[in-house]
Amino acid sequence: MAGLEELLDTRIRSVPDWPVPGVTFRDITPLLADPAGIPAVVDGMRAGLDGLGLGDVDLVAGIEARGFVLGAPLAVALGCGFVPVRKQGKLPGEVHSASYDLEYGQAVLEVQVGAVAAGHRVVLVDDVLATGGTAAAAAELLRAAGAEVVALAVLLELPALDGRARLDGLPLVSLRAV
C-alpha cells in the first residue's frame, strides 16, 4: 500500500479558496492522469471493502462526478454493475431525489427509478467525504429505491469536518485522511 500512499500524497493537489473562499478543493486530476493512479485506487478500495467482509455486492453507485470515475472501474473489479447518482436535472425519465446541504450551498441528487432494485446490495463511491451531506443524501436516495447500502468508499476523508457523524454507522473505506 506504500505505492498508493505515495500516489495520494504526490498526485492530489489542494486548491485553497475554491470554489468559494474558505473551501479547500482537493484536485484529483493529477492522480487520474497518472497511469498508476486509477488501478491503485481501485485496488485500495477493493482491499478495504474485502476487509469489511461484506460478501457479494450487486451494484456500485458513483456520486457525480468524480464518484463516476472511481466507481465504474471499482464495479468492474468487483464484478458487479454500476449506477450513477446524478445532480438534479441530468437524468431522463422518472427519478428518486434527495436534497442536501454542501459546505457552500444546497443541492439535489437523483437516481433513475428502476436503476436500483429492492434488495440490491450497493457500495456507494465518492472522491471526498467532507461534511457527509452528499454521502448521506445518496445513501438515503438509494435506500428509498429499496437498496441496502452496505458501505461507502472514498478516496479522501476530511476528519475535521466530521462527515462520519452523518453516515449513521455506514461502514466506511477511506484511503486517506487529510
pLDDT by residue, tens only, the chain of 178 residues? 459 999 999 999 999 999 889 889 999 999 999 999 999 999 999 999 999 999 999 999 999 999 999 999 999 999 999 999 999 999 999 999 999 877 667 899 999 999 999 999 999 999 999 989 999 999 999 999 999 999 999 999 999 999 999 999 999 999 999 9
Distance (Å, whole) CA 24 – CA 103: 11
Catalytic one of 64, 103, 140, 148: 103
Distance (Å, whole) CA 149 – CA 136: 11
Q: Does the active-site annotation cover 103?
A: yes
Distance (Å, whole) CA 175 – CA 147: 25
Distance (Å, whole) CA 36 – CA 4: 9
Closest by alpha carbon to 76, among 112, 52, 45? 45
Is CATH 3.40.50.980 correct for 54-177?
no
Q: Does the active-site annotation cover 64?
A: no
Q: What cell does 1 get?
A: 500500500
Instruction: State the pairing for strand pair 59-63/105-112.
Output: unpaired
Tell me what pLDDT residue 2 has.
52
Catalytic one of 66, 86, 110, 166: 66
Domain segments of the chain as ranges: 54-177
Please give the torsion angle defined by the CA atoms of residues 33, 172, 110 and 56, in that order, rounded to the nearest 10 degrees.
90
* pTM of the complete model: 0.94
